Amino acid sequence: MKDGRSILLLEDDEIDVTAIKRALKELNIKNPLIVCENGAKGLEWLRANLNALPAVILSDIDMPVMNGLEFLDKLKHDPDLLKIPVVILSTFREESDRAKAFKLGVAGYMIKPVDAGKYLSVMETIAAYWRTSELPS
């Protein structure tokens, strides 16, 4: 990543959190990882940290309280938060979810792999995106 800003991960499954942490470590991405277990907690964290917004948000879709698509909708309607790139990581292959995510302005949508090696591939793709994209200030 281009700077030391955090990565916000919205994920309620500890196995997925561990796999993402491992992939970030293997890619030597040293940005702090903030983990919130649902979209409501993610919005709460973002609004409390407006001076230190994350460089990117990785979000699951299927979470309790507020799912990833509900979170994305609220984020993209908040003028303080709407420029943060969001990548959806989901086990769902529903085309309607993918279409709604892109309509809401998601930066990427990836189907969650089952093993850590595939997570590494996903994270390499995200790292390439960070290296070639202008991150919001």
Contacts of 135 (CB under 8 A, 6+ apart): 1, 2, 3, 5, 55, 56, 85
CATH homologous superfamily of 7-130 equals Response regulator (3.40.50.2300)
Distance between CA atoms of residues 37 and 121, nearest Å: 23
What letters, b where the CB count within 10 A reaches 16 and e where it falls short, cover 93-116? eeeebbebbeebebbbbbebbeee
Q: Which residue has the tokens 């507020």?
A: 66
pLDDT for residue 129: 60
pLDDT tens, position by position, 67-118: 999 999 999 999 999 989 998 887 766 778 778 888 888 887 777 764 556 6
